[in-house]
Amino acid sequence: MQNMQHEKGSFLVVIDPGHGGWDNGASWEGRLEKDDNLHLGLLVREALEDLGISNIMTRDTDVYIMLSERAEIANEAGADLFISLHRNSYPEQLPTAMGVENYIYLTAPEEPTGRAAQLVLDSVVDVGVQADRGVSRGDYYVLRRTKMPAMLLEMGFINNDIDNQLFDEHLAEYAQAIARAVKEYQSTLEDSGNATPCECPICPNATVMHAQLLLNSYFGLNIPPTGVLDATSVHGAIMALQMALNHDLGADLSVDGILGERTLAAFNGIFPESRGYIVLAVQLALMLNGYDIGVPDGVFGRDTQHAAQKFARDNNLKYETFATPQMLSLLFK
């Protein structure tokens, strides 16, 4: 991993060559995705430096870096843009399995994240590709866990011979195209006087929006995915908790979205490695409050426990486990 001190106020890009080490990624006839990603990443670094743009690589050798560490590198550096480089693949060689595409997170805002992703994709397409597959949305870990505009760029299908030929012939040009797009993105931010994403309280929050979408999906609710914690979201989260208590414990509660005495009494706590819909409801409530619980999987694992501990500290509560009605009342406030 490359080390670089980020000068406060400067524009910083994190280049993330996907996979590495024992994780080969996709492969085709001896060709490994991890190698293509690293070759492109190193050239992107050179192209960015030629344009005077500060950058950090999550890896610059053939080593394995956990997904959580990749996101942490970017977050701790206070990066302004995150670009994860990959090669696509499909089990079958379908005629449509070709071309380049770019992904942003499910709830990422079109401005600035969508615009940054489109600039990079358009610049790559201008060099020459089989097909422009567009900017799409996906639930990729590094997109979900990074706190700045982030994209996952799929540079053609590794099991498509023409995509591979184009990748090899235009590798340096692709790197320069990505760097030019980053420079254009940086320039537009400076022109608008908004070099960093807005963090004001009324702006949509990706974690909150993700929780709203998951509450709708798992519990059949209809919460507007605004990315802002409001009364409608809290009401829905309480309904989800009541449904979970009924499902997991047979509590026979009215699903009214009111955190009354019966609902509080039915909750008997969740403990390390507890599983079920009650845990999922609590995870989504923590997310609504802006806490990062890792994967909302209905398991009270390490990441969720850390989030619960932080929630307790932030509310001046003693934390032993998530078992008190007081903590529940504050979470669904």
* Structure token digits, residue 205: 């929050």
Catalytic residues: 154
For CA atoms 313, 315, 316, 319, give the dihedral sign: negative
Sheet holding 12-17, edge to edge: 54-57, 12-17, 81-88, 150-157, 100-105, 132-138
Distance (Å) of CA 285 to CA 105, 202, 289, 321: 20, 19, 6, 16
In terms of phi and psi (left: phi > 0; alpha: psi -120 to 50; beta: otherwise), the region of 220 is left
**Between the CA of residue 168 and those of 37, 51, 156, 163, 262, what are the distances in Å?**
12, 23, 11, 9, 65
Its sign, for the CA torsion 17, 206, 305, 311, is positive
